[in-house]
A and B are shown apart, each in its own frame.
Chain A
Amino acid sequence: MSATGLHMGAPTGWRGWLLDPAPASRRQARFGRWYRGWLGLYRNGLAMTGLVIVLALVLVAIFAPLFANHAAAFTQTLTDRLQPVSWAHLFGTDELGRDIYARVIFGSRITLTIVALVSVIVVPVGLAIGLPAGYFGGWIDAVLMRVTDIFLAFPRLVLALAFAAALGPGIENAVIAISLTAWPPYARLARAETLTRRNAEFIEAAELQGASHVRILFTQIMPLSLPSVIIRLTLDMAGIILTAAGLGFLGLGAQPPAPEWGAMVSSGRQYLLDQWWVATIPGMAIFIVSLGFNLLGDGLRDVSDSRAG
């Protein structure tokens, strides 16, 4: 790079390679696009805050034993019940003398598990319904979208509630109940994404080369639809967390003694007036985590929008 180039502030080295306006390979173009997206995100302070919160949640969940004592979260010490906030108990203790800080830390595992399981179910189901609907059109589209609309017209929490009640309380059933009500937007999104590309020339080219429908759907259309699905998922995470916590609060989620945040709020309710920390601190954890996902999702959407136009 010449001295004038440096003077104009053109990036060099690996950044220059990434930001090259004329990428030489597909790999360079792809990494360059990601890097520009990252720069957009990096400039957005709120989105970065969200990213930090989400990363913190993941790290805390994975390395929970490093942050808190497992025994303190589960051992009942009735002589220590309802202790206020102190150095020994950062967030105080609950009605059974368990350390609330440790329970909140270990509770992050439950939250993350629910979120991960719901994503793993919802995205493939949404794609499996939305992609063919948009690609084939006609009666396939009509039938699939009609089913989607029916599920979309349902009240989400109430349906999840009824399912959770029917299947019996528990974390797996909460996941199934939430997934059953969460997939329709993804089907719609995947269909819309497919429709915008259905008549593109590269699809036609692939068809002329003799690629099967399944192959085109999987190798051409799905990869292009994934980014917007993932952004939507990030935005949805907060809703999933809140629904899960709501089910937990009603007693339909993870069962005691599991330190599920919503259930912790519920069990602390009766001590609200005198021992406020028992109910409010786990609720604060729910709030912060869902705020993190919302901030991150918002930022991701802004980045993708500016790229599109």
Chain B
Amino acid sequence: MLFSVALTFLGLTCVTFFIGRIIPIDPVLAIVGDKASRATYDRVATEIGVNLPIPLQYWRYLNKVLHADFGVSLITAHPVLEDMTRVFPATMELALLALFVGTLLGVPLGVVAATHRGRWQDHVVRFGSLLGYSMPVFWLGLVGLLLFYAKLGWVEGPGRLDVSYDDIVPTVTGLITIDSLIAGEIDVFWNALSHLVLPASILGYLSLAYVARMTRSFMLGQLRQEYVLATLAKGLSPFRVVWVHALGNVWVQLVTVIALTFGSLLEGAVLTETVFAWPGLGLYMKNSLFNADLNAVLGGTMVIGVVYIFLNMLSDLIYPLVDPRARSRG
């Protein structure tokens, strides 16, 4: 398994390297500017190695990536990795809360849909998740802003915090809601939560759609099994059979689903963060894109890709831990 993870990682570096090669920007010109002399241009070109053979360039690139060196961002003039550690917690805060919402609501809804198969509860859940699948997240975000921020005033608008609350709490985890609690700044906490709740709910709805749907189909598979009938015949309450026995077996598969959902949440964050001016990885990548900041874009792709690979690996690792049956499969 480690082999396949390593291979996937190599594939990822190949793709980002390839993207870096085909991008119609002269990397040398991007550094030296238009007015540089021929000599400067040549010197920089040798320095960053654009004239070397492709395999050698790839080797140098791989070396850098393995040393977590993604180069320097053109816009912020900081090393890309430093920028990443700054913006990533904001995305994490958003994605974690969304995942929380999605799992906490999605799993029970999926179970109810499965136990009420073909009845109105099932139809509501199925249709509700289809709606979630079909909605452009950026549009849902705009409609949400229009309704809950502009018209109803229930939540705060774009951004992570009101300007007046900026720089009050010291950064510990990077998650403002948690940092403010650590610092004991309750006002900051409520303000941050009020900014967070809308984008997180919108992303959460999308993951809810997926989680509920998968829970439903897993549960249907379990409820068909004979042990369900046996435990019922033994006199256990249907509630216990469904929520303890059947759901207990389904958790194993759900772990994979939830891990993958988290990956797609990171992606959804690119669009959501653009809508909500959320200073996370997504917005950072989007801004870099439009300023031809190649290092930053590829660094961001790399970070999300690595998280993706890591999540896949994690779910593969957890699987046999929670389900003894999976161990014998090797």
Contact = CB atoms under 8 A, between A and B. Distances in A.
Nearest to B127: A46
A154 B133 contact: no
A146 B6 CA distance: 12
B15 interface: yes
A273 B23 CA distance: 37
Interface in B83-136: 127, 130-131, 133-136
B19 A265 contact: no
Interface in A48-71: none
B194 interface: no
A161 B138 contact: no
Interface stretch (A5-13, A31-39, A86-94, A282-290): A282-290
Interface stretch (B34-42, B51-59, B141-149, B242-250): B141-149
Contacts of B326: none
Interface string A263-300: 00110010011001001100110110011011100100
Nearest to B275: A269
Determine chain A's interface SS by DSSP, over half rule.
helix
B8 A249 contact: no
A282 B270 CA distance: 20
B16 interface: yes
A146 B11 CA distance: 10
B267 A158 contact: yes
B133 to A, nearest CB: 5
Interface residues of A, number: 47
Interface residues of B, number: 49
Given A155-B266, A162-B297, A265 B23 contact: no
B12 interface: yes
Contact of B134 (A246, A266, A291): A291
A22 interface: no
A280 B286 contact: no
Interface stretch (B166-174, B228-236, B305-313): B305-313
Contact of B309 (A153, A156, A242, A252): A153
A135 interface: no
Interface of B: 4, 7-8, 11-12, 15-16, 19-20, 22-24, 127, 130-131, 133-139, 142-143, 145-146, 150, 263-264, 266-268, 270-271, 274-275, 285-286, 289-290, 297-298, 300-301, 304-305, 308-309, 312
9 contacts: A155-B263, A155-B267, A157-B271, A159-B301, A159-B305, A161-B301, A250-B289, A272-B150, A279-B139
